[in-house]
Amino acid sequence: MKKSVLPAKFYLWLFLATILTFLIHESAHWLMGTALGYTMTFHLNGVAATTAMQPAHKALVDAAGPLVTALQGVVAFMLVFRSRQIVAYAFLYVAAFMRLLATAISLVHLNDEARLSQYVGLGTWTLPLLVTAGLVFLTWRASRHMQLTWLDHLWCYITASIAIGAVVGVDRLLF
């Protein structure tokens, strides 16, 4: 059996990267809404305008979070390939995992990409699947580049799941 490649401290980084990714993602929504002139409320797992938005503005606000998260994933991927930076891998993994879960949740409640995809006339699933597939592909390539083991992947999944559960749980408690 192959030993884990990632050191134990990586999982602390992964936990922190998850929290930071949520904050960055939601901040992008908030900043876009604010830039468009709306008063916005901010939560750990959501942002909303206090008044009704014009449809085009709603689409821009919806697009801001996933766009920043996808950009995070691309930059992290480039850092992994340039320097095998494990902290960068944490941010790449979280970007992919977060959008994958958001796409799955769209079966019940449409995520940002699904709403945007409908707005631009691409159907519900086009953008969520493209964003998720792209980020998962980058994560897969980076993990192969770093020669990660199944044990590394298992611990990444467990850590990210706990971190996302913590963010969602704290959000529900506070808001």
CA-CA distance, 1 to 173, in Å (whole number)? 42
Q: Assess whether pLDDT exceeds 90 at residue 148.
A: yes
Side-chain-facing half-sphere of 19: CA atoms under 13 Å: 12
pLDDT at 34: 98
2 versus 35: the higher-pLDDT residue is 35
pLDDT at 55: 95
pLDDT at 3: 79
Q: Assess whether pLDDT exceeds 80 at residue 2.
A: no
Q: Assess whether pLDDT exceeds 70 at residue 152.
A: yes
CA-CA distance, 77 to 82, in Å (whole number)? 9
Q: Assess whether pLDDT exceeds 70 at residue 84.
A: yes
Average pLDDT over residues 73-94: 95
106: confidence class by pLDDT, cuts 50, 70, 90:
very high
Under a CB-based contact definition with an 8 Å cutoff, are residues 11 and 91 in contact? no
**Which residue, chain included where needed, has tokens 């401290």?**
9
Average pLDDT over residues 104-131: 96
Which residues are bridge partners to 41 per DSSP?
Answer: 48
